[in-house]
Amino acid sequence: MNRVGIKEVAKMAGVSTATVSHVINNTRFVSEETKAKVLHAMKTLDYRPNLAAQSLRNQRSNTIGLIVPTLPADTSNFFFMMVAQGIQQTLKKNGYFLLHSTNSTEGIEEEIEQIKLFNSKLIDGLIIASVSDDVSYLKDLVGDKYPVVFIDRKPKGIKGDCILADGFGGAYQATRTLIEKGHRKIGLITGSLGISTSRERFEGYSKALRDHDITYSDDRVVIASTPSFDSGYESAKKLMSSQDVTALFIANNVLTMGAMKYLQENQVKIPDEVAVIGFDDYDWTRITAPPLTVIQQPSYEIGVKAAEIMLKKISKKNAKNKEYRLPTKLIMRQSC
Amino acid sequence: MNRVGIKEVAKMAGVSTATVSHVINNTRFVSEETKAKVLHAMKTLDYRPNLAAQSLRNQRSNTIGLIVPTLPADTSNFFFMMVAQGIQQTLKKNGYFLLHSTNSTEGIEEEIEQIKLFNSKLIDGLIIASVSDDVSYLKDLVGDKYPVVFIDRKPKGIKGDCILADGFGGAYQATRTLIEKGHRKIGLITGSLGISTSRERFEGYSKALRDHDITYSDDRVVIASTPSFDSGYESAKKLMSSQDVTALFIANNVLTMGAMKYLQENQVKIPDEVAVIGFDDYDWTRITAPPLTVIQQPSYEIGVKAAEIMLKKISKKNAKNKEYRLPTKLIMRQSC
DNA sequence: CTGAAAGCGCTTACAG
DNA sequence: CTGAAAGCGCTTACAG
């Protein structure tokens, strides 16, 4: 059951290891005849190249690192899970592996440590949704050792490709929809404005108000301390207690869930007493009472795109850094 | 920005590479004095061992492979996502990496191909939830190259450690609970009996019936063709149309979601017209109307346990193959 | 058209 | 107490 190496193949085929290598990689001409012998030997010995050796020799590993923030045992962070799945499956199609690390603390230290670990593993690229808005620390850490692709959050302090959903547009559309239904007092529940994602959604919301001559009011905006179920619950409670909103836009899927819990628990009639638009389209939004109108983010597609851009950067070395914005979509159901 | 290797460290410290290596790995005595010099050099050069080289030399990679079945773009497979997170985070704590591959087709071919890929990557262990009940094909593929830990499904045709939830107990408890509430006509919606997980739940269900002198009837059991939302919807429809059940036990979280959709759409009053117990406790089960009673599986904990057993097998080489069964728990809410 | 040999960055038996 | 050197399994410049 010993691993068979290139040496055994060479021996069986009666050629040098160089020739075997060239056959495998198609890297110089080999006569049909010897090629056939080599291929035959490879097949009968069930030869598989040792990727560790290849990595060492080639200084690359066919592996991409992924870092996303996720609370431990958080049942809710569907978004990054979907993104990761998109990445994983397109990398796989292209013969790449994905080394996936979640960042369970909210701190940047863990992130840095993780990148250092990845570095010693010789990753060929890094896809990251940083906990921090300012990612200039990546300059020293990564330099130009390998390409970096940012997802979900727009990086500051460094150039780089960036794949994100059109949060501004989505939030704008949600808010406008509520306005067109006749609402003027529209509440917003959102995550920390410290990350670009939340900021954009906030701006989409306030721009829609402005465009429709509705005065913005701080009192109708709740910034959830953490994007958790409980925090969503508390935020909805706070907003509903003031009695001053007739509609609610919740700019994050976990917060949406928590807010729905509050509304349901208190028998608030949706959409009669309060209209609701949530964020992210997951199956559970179809079974609430009533089914939720939401802004859908193309999470899986963001993953696919991120992987594609990464592969392109690795092979083409094109230095252009583009921002890719995937459109969001309003899924109309019965909550507004 | 060149990577610094053991050679540079040795040079700076004025010692041989052998000594540096021994300092790093604590593998033979080194005088305090030289050790200090080496450590200092390592620190100032920010030395990080090249893991590819270590892998090649040591024939191990500090990497564990994980294969679970997941449909592409399936928003619903929370269970394995949670398991994966448990695995990942405990491996990380122990300096191991996780190579996570999802199996998007239902076929065993893709699984085999994936394992071959892993093999060339020199993984130190494999954690797998096979699409197949009979995993004897692993014998040839893996042999005793590295330990294998099975999760969620009990393997046939091969010995190996196995971590699973107590599906029998959970299903039994759910069914008994319904019986104790006075129900005699209890429907079951479950996934394919081709995997041990579903079979066990089926048996828990029928055993509970038997223990309470209720005649089992095939007509009250629907085996969903695929564990999808739509399939859950259809299964509920089928069962409810027969008008012959007053309670429903749904033995899978995605099916539960689909079934709830049907019930909600058709304004079936829960629990008055039909009592419901679902499977898996995710946040969304708290916001249905009414909130769902469910059997909770310790998914994250299964991941943690699987990783722990794996690490133990790698270091201790203990040949004992145990089956670990983590208890499920009934979470009582208002749907029954 | 193909082979002999160096070298990627480590670890470890051997030697002193 | 420490070093010189072989070797893990590949790739590739050099040579013919």
What's the pLDDT score for residue A255? 92
Rounded average pLDDT over A89-102? 90
Same domain, B79 and B160: yes
Residue A5, chain B, CB below 8 Å: the answer is: no
Q: Is B100 within 8 Å of A121 when comparing Cβ atoms?
A: no
Tell me whether residue A305 is in a domain: yes
Statement to judge: residues B174 and B289 lie in one domain: yes
A261/A110: higher pLDDT: A261
E strand or H helix that includes residue A167: helix A167-180
Cα(A221)–Cα(B6) distance, rounded to whole angstroms?
55
Q: For residues A279-297, give the mean pLDDT.
A: 92
Residues A171 and A256 in one domain: yes
Does residue B223 contact residue B193 with C-beta atoms inside 8 Å?
yes
Confidence of residue B119 (pLDDT cuts 50, 70, 90): confident
Q: Look at residue B19 and tell me whether its pLDDT is greater than 60.
A: yes
Tell me how far CA of residue A186 lies from CA of A173, A181, A248, in angstroms: 13, 11, 6
Q: How sure is the predictor about B219, in pLDDT bands with cuts at 50, 70 and 90? A: very high
Residue A13 placed within a domain: yes
Check residues A321 and A10 and name the one with the higher pLDDT. Answer: A10
Integer CA distances (angstroms), A191 to A157, A182, A220, A225, in order: 22, 26, 14, 7
Greater confidence (B76 vs A320) lies with A320
CA neighbor of B197 nearest in space, from B165, B223, B231: B165
Task: Identify the band that residue A74 occupies on the pLDDT scale cut at 50, 70 and 90.
Answer: low
pLDDT band at B1 (very low <50, low <70, confident <90, very high): very low
Residue of chain B minimizing CA distance to A116: B48
Would the Cβ of B16 be found within 7 angstroms of any atom in strand D?
A: yes
- In terms of domains, do B161 and B304 share one? yes
pLDDT, position B141: 87
Does residue B36 fall inside a structural domain?
Answer: yes
Is residue B248 in some structural domain? Answer: yes
Predicted confidence (pLDDT) at residue B224 exceeds the cutoff of 60: yes
Flag whether A184 is in a domain: yes
Looking at the structure, do residues B179 and B282 belong to the same domain, yes or no? yes
Q: How confident is the model at residue A108 (pLDDT cuts 50, 70, 90)?
A: confident
- Which residue from A77, A60, A65, A17 is spatially nearest to A42, judged by alpha carbons? A17
Which nucleotides of chain C have an atom under 7 angstroms from any protein CB?
A: 1-5, 7-13
Taking 60 as the threshold, does the pLDDT of residue A212 lie above it? yes
Q: Is the pLDDT of residue B74 over 60?
A: no
Helices (H) and strands (E) in chain B, counts: 12, 12
pLDDT band at B273 (very low <50, low <70, confident <90, very high): very high
Amino acid at B197: T
Residue type, B300: Y
Roughly how many angstroms between the first and final C-alpha of chain B, as a whole number?
Answer: 64
Own/partner pairs, A264-267, CB within 8 angstroms, 24+ separation: A264/A288, A264/A289, A264/B287, A264/B289, A264/B291, A266/A240
Confidence of residue A132 (pLDDT cuts 50, 70, 90): confident
Contact between chains at B122 and A283 (C-beta distance less than 8 A): no
* pLDDT for residue B7: 92
CA atoms within 13 A on the CB side of A51: 22
What are the tens digits of pLDDT across the range B139-157?
888 888 899 999 999 888 8
B76 pLDDT above the threshold of 80: no
**Alpha-carbon separation of residue A91 from A97, A147, A315, B190 (angstroms):** 6, 15, 14, 33
Strands B329-331 and B293-296: antiparallel
Q: What pLDDT score does B323 carry?
A: 93
Q: Which amino acid appears at position A308 of this protein?
A: E
User: Do both B106 and B136 map to the same domain?
Assistant: yes
Q: Which residues of B99-123 are buried (b: 16+ CB within 10 A; e: fewer)?
A: bbbbbbeeeeebbeebbebbbbbbb
CATH number, domain with residue A30: 1.10.260.40
In this complex, do B51 and A121 lie within 8 Å of one another by their Cβ atoms? Answer: yes
- Laid out side by side, the sheet with A186-190 consists of A221-223, A186-190, A247-250, A275-279, A293-296, A329-331
- Cα B85 to chain centroid, rounded: 9
Q: What per-residue confidence (pLDDT) applies to A110?
A: 85
Determine whether the distance from the CB of A54 to the nearest atom of strand D is below 7 Å. yes
From B59-63, B87-91, B107-111, the region with the lowest mean pLDDT: B107-111
Residues of A in contact with B100 (CB under 8 A): 88, 98, 100
pLDDT of residue B227 exceeding 90, the answer is no
pLDDT at B24 over 70: yes
Q: Does residue B56 lie in a domain region?
A: no
Please give the full DSSP string across B267-286, using - where no structure is assigned: T--TTTT-EEEEES--GGGG
Please tell me the distance in Å from B205's CA to the nearest CA on chain A: 26
pLDDT of residue B319: 66
Question: From the centroid of its chain, how far is CA A245?
Answer: 32
- Structure letter (DSSP) for residue B298: -
Range with the largest mean pLDDT of A144-158, B116-130, B143-157, B322-336? B322-336
Cα angle B264, B267, B272 (rounded to 5 degrees) comes to: 100
Strand ranges for chain B from DSSP E: 63-69, 97-103, 125-128, 148-151, 161-165, 186-190, 221-223, 247-250, 275-279, 293-296, 323-326, 329-331
Amino acid B328: pLDDT: 97
Identify the band that residue B276 occupies on the pLDDT scale cut at 50, 70 and 90: very high
Any strand C atom closer than 7 Å to B56 CB: yes
pLDDT at A93 over 50: yes
Query: Do B156 and A87 form a contact (C-beta atoms < 8 A)?
Result: no
A185: helix, strand or coil: coil
Cα angle at B206 between B205 and B208, to 5 degrees? Answer: 70
Q: What's the mean per-residue pLDDT of chain B?
A: 90
Task: Tell me the C-alpha distance between B160 and B116, whole Å.
Answer: 19
Which two three-digit tokens encode residue B312? Answer: 């133990």
Is A54 domain-assigned? Answer: no
Stretch B37-62: mean pLDDT, rounded? 92
Whether B309 has a pLDDT exceeding 90, the answer reads yes
Please give the average per-residue pLDDT across B260-270, as a whole number. Answer: 94
One domain, residues A35 and A89: no
> Of A150-164, B73-87, B104-118, where does mean pLDDT reach its minimum?
B73-87
Is B121 close to A257, i.e. CB distance below 8 A?
no
DSSP state of A285: G
- Say if residue A119 is in the same domain as residue A151: yes
Instruction: Verify that A244 and A286 share a domain, yes or no.
Output: yes
Euclidean distance between CA atoms B64 and B83, whole angstroms? 14
Per-residue model confidence (pLDDT) at position B318:
66
pTM: 0.90
CA–CA separation, A113 and A115 (whole Å): 5
Report the domain count for chain B.
3
Does any domain span residue B272?
Answer: yes
Is residue B165 scored above 90 in pLDDT? yes
Q: Are strands A323-326 and A161-165 parallel, antiparallel or unpaired?
A: parallel
More confident residue, B106 or A277: A277
Query: pLDDT at residue A73 above 50?
Result: no
Nearest-by-CA chain A residue for B144: A1
Residues A151 and A136 in one domain: yes
Mean pLDDT value across residues A1-20: 87
Task: For residues B266-293, give the mean pLDDT.
Answer: 93
Task: Note whether B171 and B140 are same-domain residues.
Answer: no
Domain that holds residue A237: 167-296
C1'-nearest nucleotide to the CA of A54: D10
pLDDT-derived band at A317 (thresholds 50, 70, 90) equals low
- The answer to whether strand D lies under 7 Å from the CB of residue A22 is yes
Is any atom of strand D within 7 angstroms of residue A316's beta carbon? no
Could you identify the residue whose CA is nearest to the C1' atom of nucleotide C12?
B18
SS3 (DSSP) at B56: helix
Under the banding of pLDDT at 50, 70 and 90, the label for residue A1 is very low
Contact A52 B121 (CB under 8 A): yes
Which CATH number do you get for residue B217?
3.40.50.2300
Q: Does A98 touch chain B (CB under 8 A)?
A: yes
Place B73 in a pLDDT band, splitting at 50, 70 and 90.
very low
Rg (CA), chain B: 25
Q: Does A140 touch chain B (CB under 8 A)?
A: no
- Give rounded-to-5 percent helix, strand, coil for chain B: 45, 15, 35
Q: Which residue is nearest to nucleotide D4 (CA to C1')?
A: B16
Looking at the complex, does the CB of residue A48 fall below 8 Å from at least one CB of chain B? yes
B68 & B155 share domain: yes
Separation between the CA of B240 and the C1’ of C5 (whole angstroms): 76
**Nearest-CA distance from B283 to chain A in Å?**
7
Place of tokens 């940012």: A150
A 10 A CB-CB count for B158 gives 16
